[in-house]
Amino acid sequence: MRFLFKTDYEDDIRLFPHSGYIYSYGLLLAVLLLAPYVLSSYLMSQVVFVCIYATVGVGLLILTGFTGQASLGHAAFLAIGAYTAAYLQQFNVPFPVYFLAAGLLTGAVGALVGFPALRLQGIYLVIATISFAFIVEEILARWESVTHGNEGMRVKTMQLLGTTVSRDGPTFYYLCLAVLVLTIVGTLNLLRSPTGRAFVAIRDSETAARSMGINVALYKVKSFAISAAITGFAGVLFAHKLSFISPEMFTLQLSIEFIIVILIGGTFSLHGAVLGAIFLVMIDPFLTYLKDDMPGVIAGVAATLGAGTERAGHIQDAVAAFASANGLKGAIYGIIIVVFVLFEPLGLYGRWLKIKLFFQLFPLYKRATFKRQKIYVKSERNR
Amino acid sequence: MLDFVQQLVSGIALGCVYGLIALGFVLVYKATEVVNFAQGDLMMLGGFFAFTFIGMLGLNYWVGFAGAVICMALFGMLAERLVVRPILGYPQFSIIMATIGLGYFLRSVSGMIWGTDDFKIETPFSQGVLRIGSLVLAYDKLSVIAATIILCALLYLFFNRTTLGTAMRASSENMLAAYYMGIPVKRVVSIVWAISAAVATCAGVLLAPITFIHSNVGLVLGLKAFPAAVLGGFGSIPGAVVGGVLIGVIESMAGFYLPQGWKDVAPYIVLLAVLLLKPEGLFGLHVRKKV
């Protein structure tokens, strides 16, 4: 176990606390840079989605994880970013300009949502953000002169610095990766600044934060704006990746998926957004694998256990029918959410920390280290 | 004028449906300060149970209705035991997520079991209309209105006049203190979930002739019931019904008088306005914490 001796404040807020971080993250970055040369094009496209979802996850973490303001409306911010890009593209606006414009516009909308949200707490905030997302969805479907309504909009191939960036090519992947890395680094910097500390203070206790002289309203609006802007940036990439956008892509379902990302990853650290995005996006290839290969595997196991060829064939058919049943994905989503909330509230990153601590403290590890406190005195009603 | 009255009545009938679902939210919220995002899906499941009993097994309507209510009450207890009780006392957001997950699961599984078609239940009042002058009222809509009024009154009396109701209010206020006072908090929470699942089933069965039952009905109507619950003030039983009726009337008026598209967003615009101007709702209690 390594002991870090911190002698001044700079040591405490360092991005890389010790050289191990630089090596491991450097290695990770090298692997990610080499990925397009190794992985198949289908997996690469999933990795691009991981980058986009992780970017949204980081944005959502700033709001939900660090400022404690739940939002089930982030699909709307994503939609605003995507539609801004698609709209500006029609006038031959260059990519960097509409990329920034989408972020700024989404940030402004986020701030606008933040103002009414100041008075709301907990469940009311969740419902308000859901309503906001519904209204945006409806506007997208009805404002046909700009959004083409339910017909959707075609997004042209990206032109960057005079070259064409195909949505399946490695350059687009590098662009998404760069956006993700910059977002993470920017957010880490934000979180160690006074603003980030104010966010965390508001999350932990609004009353305490206010009595420490933090302008709660200002920081909440800031948090909304930053979170929305990051989601807007991700929206531009999302639009380019899909090359076609329509209002029914940005439903409550998508907002819930974003919440699942941070819930599964862990809401207390930026690692959570990335891990959660990997988990959520990779469920699809995994389910396809289950659908294609699992029946055969199970039948094989049954046959070796002495079930007979005919019986094994029946089992194979039954499993195949089950695996291709409509709605299996939804059921698995549901189970995953419930299981994580019940048994792994700190998410995948929390599990990683637990495993790490287990080996660091071996044989002294105690489960209670990570136990959450239960509060039976409900204060939500008279906060 | 006649159009207006006709719209008003159909709005009230629709609103009563929202109100019935909102009643479920309010019950669970009142007793545990948990918001059950799966309420609409419990309603859907109740409808499917009733369909199985009445449509597939061919039982009498009322027997099937009662059977579905009992099954769903047990199911509500089971869901509470498995999903909610382990995380009682944790931040509200965890519980919201858990119920969202539960809703996902119920939706998909019932889609797998009953398929994705629309189902209809034959009811004693699905035929026939009541005519008052030139006003035409369908019996199925009137049945929803009547059931809502009866259920609302019963639940209001239950919460305010019975010992169990008082125990529920106490455990909502402060679970620990209620437990010290000898209230079996766990059982109380369990019973509340059973009641709210039963109410949801009533909504589902009464709704079946109007909107049909399909696996997504819970999501659609459940989300409309939120504005109703918020408008009435989460935690007020008459408020839920009044809020539901208001939302229903607004929706039906917006659909009739405003351009296309307003019908679906109008409830949410009203909701946002209410949250901005009077976050505690029409009948809600809102006390600011003093430090």
A208-255: pLDDT as tens digits: 888 999 998 899 999 999 999 999 999 999 988 888 888 888 888 888
Q: How far is A321 from chain B (nearest CA, A)?
A: 11
Question: Do A331 and B108 make contact, defined as CB atoms within 8 angstroms?
Answer: yes
Contacts of B97 in chain A (CB under 8 A): 259, 263, 337, 341
At A267-309, the pLDDT tens digits run 888 888 899 999 888 887 887 777 777 777 777 787 777 767 7
Nearest CA in chain B to A68: B93
At A47-69, the pLDDT tens digits run 899 999 999 999 999 998 888 88
Distance, in Å, from the CA atom of A308 to the CA atom of A28, rounded to the nearest integer, reads 48
* pTM for the whole structure: 0.87
Q: How far is B28 from chain A (nearest CA, A)?
A: 13
CA atoms within 13 A on the CB side of A34: 7
Question: Do B93 and A333 make contact, defined as CB atoms within 8 angstroms?
Answer: no
Contacts of A327 in chain B (CB under 8 A): 107-109, 111-112, 215
Sign of CA dihedral A237, A241, A243, A246: negative
Contacts of A338 in chain B (CB under 8 A): 83, 98, 101-102, 105
Question: Do B287 and A325 make contact, defined as CB atoms within 8 angstroms?
Answer: no
Distance, in Å, from the CA atom of A39 to the CA atom of A340, rounded to the nearest integer, reads 30
Would the pLDDT of A381 be above 60?
no
At B69-104, the pLDDT tens digits run 999 999 999 998 888 888 877 777 788 888 888 988
Q: How far is A319 from chain B (nearest CA, A)?
A: 14
Nearest Cα to A60, choosing from A210, A264, A236?
Answer: A264
Say what percent of chain B tops pLDDT 70. 96
Mutate to test the interface with B, among A67, A112, A127 (most CBs of B within 10 A): A127
Choose the closest CB to A335 out of B105, B261, B285: B105
Q: CA distances (Å), A39 to each of A28, A31, A32, A262, A314, in order?
A: 15, 11, 10, 26, 36
ipTM: 0.83
Domain boundaries of chain B, sorted by first residue: 2-222
Query: pLDDT band at B267, cuts 50/70/90?
Result: confident
Terminus-to-terminus CA distance in chain A, angstroms? 43
